[in-house]
Chains A and B, each alone.
Chain A
Amino acid sequence: MRSDKLFQIVSHVILVILSLLAILPMILMLTSSFTDNDVLIANGYSYFPEKWSLYAYEYIFKTGNSVIRAYGISIVLTAVGTACALCITTLLAYAISKKELPGRGVITFLVVFSMLFNGGLVPTYMVYSSILNLKNTFWALLIPGLLMNGFNVMLMKSYFCSSIPDEILDAAYMDGAGEVRTFLSVVVPLSKPIMATIALFAGMGYWNDWMNGYIYITKRTELYSVQNLLNRMMQNIQFLSQSSSNVQNANVGLNAIPLASVRMAMATVGILPIIVIYPFVQKYFVKGITLGGVKG
């Protein structure tokens, strides 16, 4: 048993170190965002700044109309996207979980093949930009790639097949419930855990996505999500001052903008919703990965 005690102690030490490594970068971001800009320019980003300041946050909420709008876009996008993704994934997964459904094999093949082979960026971009003309619309953030993927469909299908006994479905059918009724009043209530997991995957995908906005939103920057704004800011330091609609500081030099700390404050604001929600949903996330890991 002595070896067990030693193992526990060593594990604690290593896991404390790894946990710290995991969050230290975020703590640096947080402390930097609260650092006085002059101190920051003199000393760099630091865990223990000499002088604290709320200026970066004041700056964001006073002058950064673009920040608040981007936040709104991200929230709407995540809410709408998650709801739509959950609906169409669940419905399709349910269909291919029906063993007697004529054409089930073909539909399943279409789903699986989409996971194995895809056209890649160039043809996909062509479809969304020149055939469907989604460029510079809200749809471009919502639709390409994120709405549904084969992996989630198969994950859900295997849940339906393994966790909802056929007897219950047959009984409902015998009692005269149609397919829709059976689905709504028997299947959905029994599938809450997997639906929570899929919603979580989808929600995280939407909140964190920067690629769609980066590729398809080229002109209408008012459609930028938080991630796109952050991305653009990193590329172009001057962006924030240009895109705010109240550009009183147009003739003030760049030096007047507390860039270094504002940038970190922006990133903090972008991370915040995840940090707030994460502890409550982590359980479902772990469950979902466990389910999914077993099945591919």
Chain B
Amino acid sequence: MDKALTKENNKKSLKKRLKRFFPIYIMALPGLIYLFVNNYMPLPGLVLAFKKYNAKQGIFGSKFVGFKNFKYLFKTNDAFIITRNTILYNVVFIIVNTILAVFVAIMLAEMTSRLKKIYQCLILLPFMISMVIVSYLVFGYLSNDNGFINNIVLKALGKEPVFWYMEKKYWPFILTFVMAWKVIGYNSIIYISTILGIDRGIYESAAIDGCSKWKQITKITIPLLKPTVIMMTLLAVGRIFYSDFGLFYQVPQNQGALFAVTNTIDTYVYRGLLELGDMPMASAAGLYQSLVGFVLILAANLAVRKIEPESALF
């Protein structure tokens, strides 16, 4: 009897709530429609990876070929190269950018001078610039004919000009440098806010006890930064199967001679789809990225949730 009553009540209150919140559903509608179009409508298209695409027959009319596309993809050397490049660059970026960002954050957070605002403003600026313009800036230094390095630096050193856009051995360093240049200001912000959240009393008593600044940094700041560093690193590891398309496509100017060291999964999928018209490969590589990426993000998030539940995505 009681149960039936509460059920009845629940039904009533649900009805009431639905009526009360009706405007809220209307408000949420544009966002939900966009989510549907942009994120969910493409999902059935993933079956393309198992089909022999034929523009006339469309996605669903095309012939089903099972895992054939994947077999071809992994038979080629490309699959290995793009996976290796994507992962290795990400690992290098995570290490280099984390160390530099922590370093910059400590200096900025502990600085007493007002100049620190100007420093932060300037160091953050590159983050605001599009990769297309970054490719112009890089070109200003590396252009064969007009570049600053060939014309001024190497000339002054009495060295032969280097054809930067033809020599792949330099590009792992160039790309790492460009990425660091672009994101360090951005990455340091989160560490700065962590440092500013540390109780100043700890530093004061350490100073009274005669701790040098260096000791305060290594014994107080860095240990207290550790959780944030671990968390940010885990989140970055979750995205290790994705790369910044602009960095790997625009900055090396899509030069074929450099593909061995600049081709990542994202650039490979793009070229397959829009430059080479190699649909089977592009869709297979795309699904490969989506699936492995998904597993990695889930795993990383699980790890984050164990360490610091509030920082987890879900």
A interface residues with partner B (beta carbon < 8 Å): 1, 3-4, 6-8, 11-12, 14-16, 18-19, 21-23, 25-26, 28-29, 32, 40-41, 43-47, 87-89, 91-92, 94-96, 98, 100-102, 107, 110-112, 114-127, 130-132, 143-145, 147-148, 153-154, 178-180, 183, 204, 207-211, 215, 227, 230-231, 234-235, 260, 263-264, 267, 270-271, 274-275, 278-279, 282, 285-286, 289-290, 293-296
* In the bound complex, CA of A22 to CA of B123 (Å): 6
CB distance from B258 to the nearest CB of A (A): 15
Residue in B closest to A146 when the chains form the complex, CB atoms: B38
Which of A14, A22, A153, A260 lies at the interface centre, i.e. has the most chain B CB atoms within 10 A of its CB?
A22
Chain B residue at smallest Cβ distance from A282 = B121
Q: Is the beta-carbon distance between A112 and B189 smaller than 8 angstroms?
A: no
Task: Looking at the assembled complex, report how far the CB atom of A233 sits from the nearest CB atom of chain B, in whole angstroms.
Answer: 9
Interchain CA distance A204-B313 in the complex, whole Å: 24
Which residues from chain B contact A121 at a C-beta distance below 8 Å? 266, 269-270, 273, 282, 286
Which residues of B have CB within 8 Å of A4? 207, 213
Q: Which chain B residues border A23 with CB–CB below 8 Å?
A: 122, 125
Find out whether the CB atom of A19 lies under 8 angstroms from the CB atom of B118.
yes
Given contacts A119-B43, A230-B136, contact A179 B20 (CB under 8 A): yes
Q: A122-B273, A260-B146, A290-B189 are in contact. Are A179 and B290 (CB under 8 A)?
A: no
Q: Is B28 an interface residue (CB 8 A)?
A: yes
Smallest distance from the beta carbon of A253 to chain B beta carbons, Å?
Answer: 17
Q: Which among B141, B217, B283, B313 is the interface contact of A122 at CB below 8 angstroms?
A: B283
Q: Which A residues are in CB contact (< 8 Å) with B293?
A: 117
A64 to nearest B CB, angstroms?
A: 16
Interface string of B149-172 (1 = CB under 8 A from A): 011100000000000000000000
Question: Would A263 and B123 be within 8 Å (CB), given that A6-B213, A211-B245, A293-B190 are in contact?
Answer: no
B235 neighbours in A (Cβ, 8 Å): 296
Whether A22 contacts B27 by the Cβ 8 Å rule is no
- B1-9, B74-82, B86-94, B108-116: which one contacts chain A? B108-116
Residue from A11, A92, A231 in contact with B250 in the complex, judged by beta carbons closer than 8 Å: A231
CA of A44 to CA of B265, assembled, Å: 35
Question: Does B32 lie within 8 Å of A123, measured CB to CB?
Answer: no
Most B Cβ at <10 Å: residue of A127, A145, A147, A183: A127
The answer to the question of B200 belonging to the interface, with a C-beta cut-off of 8 Å to chain A, is: no
Q: Does B31 sit within 8 A of A, measured CB to CB?
A: yes
Q: In the complex the two chains form, is B119's CB within 8 Å of A264's CB? A: no
Q: Are B126 and A22 in contact (CB under 8 A)?
A: yes
**In the bound complex, how far is the Cα of B255 from the Cα of A186, in angstroms?**
54
- Provide the bound-state CA to CA distance between A40 and B190, in Å: 42
Q: Please give, as numbers and ranges, the residues of chain A lying within 8 Å of B181 by CB-CB distance.
A: 21-22, 25
Within 8 A of A (CB), among B208-264: 212-214, 217, 232, 235, 245-246, 250, 253-254
Chain B residues positioned under 8 Å from A286 (CB to CB): 120, 124, 189
Q: Within 8 Å CB of A28, what residues of B?
A: 137, 140-141, 148
State A187–B41 Cα separation when bound (angstroms).
32
User: Could you list 20 A-B pairs, sorted by A, with CB under 8 Å?
Assistant: A7-B213, A11-B110, A15-B123, A23-B125, A29-B137, A100-B17, A102-B17, A120-B286, A121-B273, A121-B286, A122-B45, A127-B37, A208-B129, A234-B136, A235-B254, A289-B186, A293-B232, A294-B190, A294-B193, A295-B311
B286 touches A15 (CB 8 A): no
Q: How far is the CA of A115 from the CA of B38 in the complex (A)?
A: 12
Known: A45-B140, A121-B270. A144 touches B38 (CB 8 A): yes
